[in-house]
Amino acid sequence: MAKKIKVGFFSFTCCEGCMISFIEILNEKYFDWTKKIDIQYLRALKKVKPIRPMDIAFVEGAISTQSEIRKLKLIRKNATKLVALGSGAINGWPSNLRNDFNDVKKKEIAELIKKLNQIETVSPIKKFVKIDDEIPGCPIDQKLFIKKMEGYLNA
């Protein structure tokens, strides 16, 4: 039996629609993929544990806090390949809409941003780490995800 590919799924500032899409994909692909992948991290399905080396990290969401930056860098350090999932991870949208608020609105939300330990601007993950691949959409296109995952599994 071939060695299973270790994968992790991580969410940052977003609605977690990409994770929901992945879980929906499992309705179709679970029995095929469980023979080939070992899901190390997926908060929606497994107890959270320390980040350890993995073959592929799938990351959704934009970055909005210093703690997210640290966690993202730890994921990158431990992942052979990092794949950006969805608009939030790829270009920061829609979470980064607050970056372009007018001065009145920025002043209005300043206290909340401070209370939530947010950084000044919301950014895509590529601002902080190298990404190896991306799957666009909000949420991701399920057929494209399946095609890419099949490519990773058969590489």
CATH number assigned to the domain comprising residue 22: 3.40.50.700
Contacts of residue 24, defined as CB under 8 A and 6 or more positions apart, other chains included, come to 142
Residue 130: is its pLDDT beyond 90?
Answer: yes
Q: Within a domain: residue 32?
A: yes
Q: How many CB atoms lie within 10 A of CB 82?
A: 25
Strand, coil or helix: 17: helix
| Rounded (to 5) percent helix, strand, coil in the chain | 45, 30, 25
Q: Within a domain: residue 74?
A: yes
Q: What percentage of the chain has pLDDT greater than the value 70?
A: 99
Yes or no: say if 55 and 6 are a contact pair by the CB < 8 Å rule.
yes
Residue range of the domain that includes 63:
5-150
Q: So what's the pLDDT on residue 66?
A: 96
Q: So what's the pLDDT on residue 41?
A: 94
Q: Within a domain: residue 109?
A: yes
Q: Within a domain: residue 12?
A: yes
Place of tokens 């909005």: 64
Q: Within a domain: residue 155?
A: no
Cα dihedral across residues 63, 64, 69, 70: positive or negative: negative
Q: So what's the pLDDT on residue 1?
A: 56
Q: So what's the pLDDT on residue 48?
A: 78
Place of tokens 């590529």: 126
| Tokens representing residue 144 in the block | 């494209």
Q: Within a domain: residue 70?
A: yes
Instruction: Give the closest residue to 140 by CA, choosing from 58, 85, 59, 68.
Output: 85
133 vs 46 pLDDT, higher one:
133
Q: Within a domain: residue 46?
A: yes
The overall average pLDDT reported for the chain is: 94
First to last CA, the chain: 16
Q: Within a domain: residue 19?
A: yes
The domain tally of the chain equals: 1
Q: So what's the pLDDT on residue 135?
A: 97
Yes or no: say if 41 and 112 are a contact pair by the CB < 8 Å rule.
no
Q: How large is the average pLDDT for residues 24-42?
A: 93
Residue 110: is its pLDDT beyond 90?
Answer: yes
pTM across the whole model: 0.93
